[in-house]
Amino acid sequence: MQTSIDLNALRQERLKCLEWKNIKPYWEAIAGLPTVKDVTIQLGDTVVMLPSTLSTEEEQIIYDTAKLMHPWRKGPFQVATTFIDSEWKSNFKYNLLRPHFDLKDKIVGDIGCNNGYYLFRMMEDKPKRLIGFDPSALTFCQFKFLDYFIQSGITYELLGVEYVEFYEHKFDTLFCLGVLYHRPDPIGMLKSLFKGLNEGGELILDTFMIDGEEEVCLTPRDRYSKMGNIYFIPTVNALKNWCYRAGFTEIEVLDMVKTQEEEQRKTEWIHTQSLKDFLDENDQNKTVEGYPAPKRVYIKAKKLRKKS
Ligand X SMILES: C[S@@+](CC[C@H](N)C(=O)[O-])C[C@H]1O[C@@H](n2cnc3c(N)ncnc32)[C@H](O)[C@@H]1O
Instruction: Please give the residue ranges that form the binding site for ligand X (CB under 6 A).
Output: 74, 90, 111-112, 114, 133-136, 139, 160-161, 177-179, 182
Q: Which residues of 147-159 are buried (b: 16+ CB within 10 A; e: fewer)?
A: bbbbebebebbbb
Q: Is the dihedral of CA 13, 15, 18, 23 positive or negative?
A: positive
What crossing angle do the helices spanning 56-68 and 24-31 adopt, rounded to 10°? 160
CA distance 223 to 287: 10
Tell me the closest approach of the beta carbon of residue 294 to ligand X, in angstroms. Answer: 11
Tell me the closest approach of the beta carbon of residue 213 to ligand X, in angstroms. Answer: 26
Q: Are 200 and 219 in contact (CB under 8 A)?
A: no
Task: Supply the DSSP symbol for 218.
Answer: E
Q: For the chain, what is the radius of gyration of the CA atoms? A: 20
Q: In what order do the strands lie in the sheet with 295-302?
A: 155-157, 129-133, 107-111, 171-177, 197-208, 295-302, 249-258
44 vs 188, which CB is nearer to ligand X?
A: 188
188 vs 200, which CB is nearer to ligand X?
A: 188
51 vs 183, which CB is nearer to ligand X?
A: 183
Cis peptide leading into residue 71 (ω within 30°): yes
Tell me the closest approach of the beta carbon of residue 155 to ligand X, in angstroms. Answer: 15
Tell me the closest approach of the beta carbon of residue 156 to ligand X, in angstroms. Answer: 11
* CA 229, chain centre distance (Å): 16
51 vs 160, which CB is nearer to ligand X?
A: 160
48 vs 177, which CB is nearer to ligand X?
A: 177
Tell me the closest approach of the beta carbon of residue 94 to ligand X, in angstroms. Answer: 9
CB-nearest residue to ligand X:
160
Q: Are 142 and 123 in contact (CB under 8 A)?
A: no
90 vs 173, which CB is nearer to ligand X?
A: 90
120 vs 133, which CB is nearer to ligand X?
A: 133
Tell me the closest approach of the beta carbon of residue 207 to ligand X, in angstroms. Answer: 10
Tell me the closest approach of the beta carbon of residue 89 to ligand X, in angstroms. Answer: 10
80 vs 130, which CB is nearer to ligand X?
A: 130
- Picking from 283, 291, 293, 277, the residue whose alpha carbon sits closest to that of residue 222 is 291
- Picking from 5, 2, 1, the residue whose alpha carbon sits closest to that of residue 157 is 5
Q: Which residues of 252-269 are buried (b: 16+ CB within 10 A; e: fewer)?
A: eebeebebeeebbeebeb
Tell me the closest approach of the beta carbon of residue 220 to ligand X, in angstroms. Answer: 16
Q: What are the distances in angstroms from CA 258 to CA 113, 164, 210, 225, 284?
A: 21, 29, 10, 13, 11
